[in-house]
Amino acid sequence: MNQLDTIDLAILRALQENGRMTNSDLAEMVGLSPSACSRRHDILEKTGVIRGYHARLSHKALEYKMMVIVHISLSGQFAKTLNEFEAAVKRCPNVLVCYLMSGEYDYILRVAAKDLEDYERIHRDWLSALPHVVKINSSFALREIIDRPNIGL
Query: Do 18 and 74 fall within a single domain?
Result: no
Tell me whether residue 24 is in a domain: yes
Tell me whether residue 88 is in a domain: yes
Query: Do 121 and 77 fall within a single domain?
Result: yes
CA separation for the pair 68, 141 (Å, rounded): 6
pLDDT in tens, 95-153: 999 999 999 999 999 999 999 999 999 999 999 999 999 999 999 999 999 988 888 88
Q: Specify the CATH number for the domain of residue 20.
A: 1.10.10.10
Domain with 103 in it: 66-140
- Contact between 56 and 149 (Cβ < 8 Å): yes
Number of domains in the chain: 2
pLDDT in tens, 13-62: 999 999 999 999 999 999 999 999 999 999 999 999 999 998 889 998 99
Query: Do 13 and 78 fall within a single domain?
Result: no
Query: Do 74 and 119 fall within a single domain?
Result: yes
